[in-house]
Amino acid sequence: MSKNKTNINKWLLPLSWLYGFVVFIRKKLFDWNILKQVQYDVPVICVGNITVGGTGKTPHIEYLVRLLKTKYRVAVLSRGYRRKTKGFVLATPNTDFKKIGDEPFQIKNKFPDIIVAVDENRRHGIETLLAMDDRPEVILLDDAYQHRYVKPSFSVLLVNYNRPIYEDTLLPAGRLREPAHNLDRANVVIITKCPQDLKPIDMRIMTHDINTYPYQSLLFSTTEYGDLIAMFDRQNLFESVERPLEYIRNKKVLLVAGIASPDQLVEEIKKYTENVQLMNFPDHHDFSDKDIQDIEERFKEMGNDTITILTEKDAARLTDGNKMSERLKASMYYLPVKISFLSKEDERLFMKKIVRHVYKSTRDGEIYQEEGF
């Protein structure tokens, strides 16, 4: 099993113990019903993690959207991380990413027919959605595993294969938001970003080490990359010319990545060319004029035949093309990703659990019957 070594800042462990005590007290306040949870009369499916960043929440949310949107009115509710607005904002096809955040912007543009909203107060967000005339039948909560004021009807917990929670420790020494045993609130635990050739023996080792509870399912997913999509040859970012990744074979690539864990993306690009230069920015980075100037300078250094590749999230933050030369814009593509499960058994089990849960929580059993569950 080949994965990155988990780095722990041991000199910060005393602060992690203090942080852990605060987390423990908060958990007990909810367990003792001193802090109140609210449950709603529609299926509320939470997709989250107990690690800071890098587990692939958005592609898993999109997987659920594809699974459910043909039969149900689906809403995605996010807090809209690093947006420039406050309170409840309902996305439209013309909403700027600065008003809702890059990931909700990405989801709305991919799935314009679903409801996408942001609200830092999840209770208020859900209640506002349910007060709509055309209220949603299923709500997908993005990154809400720690937001315990809402009691989801179903929880999916994501764990990065390259940084398993059983090797990690609490913030700030590690990257855990809460102790690993707090995975007990999840219905399904998914090990994400797995190598596509992960061996069964490695799966069994991780299954043993993560130590899920009997009522939970442990599944394994991987990242699949789509075709490169040109950013600036059409008005709509998500309706542009597509090129297979083979297009970059032996070409020079400038990879611009503002994501928590770019290593897997770099490995994918290097399957086609070794001539890759990475410009790595923090997760959800808001690109400044200076950043764009730096990208422009690196692009010029590499030569005008360079292909510039961005992640979907980064593309969402650079849609206007301001301060960029026409040559740089002509070189720019973004690389969409989606998830798939490592086995058909895992895929079918996940679909069965989600579809059955939604069926039992609504009056419409059509999707349940059609899928043969």
In a domain, residue 73? The reply is yes
Euclidean distance between CA atoms 250 and 150, whole angstroms: 50
Residue 86 lies in a domain: yes
Same domain for 184 and 299, yes or no, is no
Q: Are residues 331 and 293 in the same domain?
A: yes
Question: What pLDDT is attached to residue 67?
Answer: 97
Q: How far is CA 98 from the centre of its chain?
A: 18
Domain count within the chain: 2
Q: What tokens appear for 147 in the block? A: 């937001």
The confidence score (pLDDT) of residue 282 equals 87
Given this model, what pLDDT does residue 237 score? Answer: 47
Q: Please check whether residues 166 and 308 belong to one and the same domain.
A: no
Q: Are residues 21 and 108 in the same domain?
A: yes
C-alpha dihedral, 101 to 105 to 108 to 110, nearest 10°: -140
pLDDT for 367 equals 42
pLDDT tens-digit map of 50-89: 999 789 999 999 999 999 999 999 999 999 988 999 999 9
| pLDDT confidence of residue 363 | 59
Do 180 and 320 fall within a single domain?
no
For the sheet with 228-230, list strands across it.
242-243, 228-230, 332-335, 307-311, 253-257, 276-280
**Residue 230: what residue type?**
A
Residue 238 has pLDDT above 70, yes or no: no
d(CA 138, CA 114): 11
**Percent of residues, the chain, with pLDDT higher than 70:** 94
Residue 4 lies in a domain: no
In a domain? residue 126: yes
Give the C-alpha distances (Å, rounded to integers) separating 139 from 115, 152, 274, 370.
9, 9, 43, 21
| Structural domain boundaries enclosing 62 | 10-223+340-370
Mean of the per-residue pLDDT values for the chain? 91
Same domain, 68 and 113: yes
- Mean pLDDT of the region 90-100: 92
Report yes or no on 3 lying in a domain. Answer: no
User: Among all chains, which residue has been given the structure tokens 């367990």?
Assistant: 31
- 334 near 309, Cβ under 8 Å? yes
Whether residue 101 is found in the same domain as residue 213: yes
Distances in Å between the Cα of 213 and the Cα atoms of 49, 87, 189 are 17, 37, 10
Residue 315 within a domain? yes
Assess whether 209 and 61 both reside in one domain: yes
Whether the per-residue pLDDT at 304 is higher than 90: the answer is no
Residue 78: strand pairing partners: 118
pLDDT tens track for 128-173: 999 999 999 999 999 999 999 999 999 999 999 999 999 999 999 9
Domain membership flag for residue 5: no
**Amino acid in the structure at residue 154:** F
Measured CA to CA, the distance from residue 89 to residue 84 in angstroms comes to 11
DSSP summary character for residue 170: B
- Whether 1 is covered by a domain: the verdict is no
- So what's the pLDDT on residue 3? 58
Residue from 182, 149, 185 nearest 166 by CA = 182
Supply the pLDDT for residue 240. 67
CATH of the domain at 115: 3.40.50.300
| pLDDT score recorded for residue 193 | 94
Q: Looking at the structure, tell me whether residues 319 and 173 fall in a common domain.
A: no
pLDDT at 241 exceeding the cut of 90: no
User: Do 198 and 217 have their domain in common?
Assistant: yes
Give the whole-angstrom CA distance, residue 74 versus residue 341: 22
| pLDDT tens per residue across span 205-231 | 999 999 999 999 999 999 999 999 998
**94 and 185 both lie in a single domain:** yes
Let me know whether 163 and 287 are in one domain: no
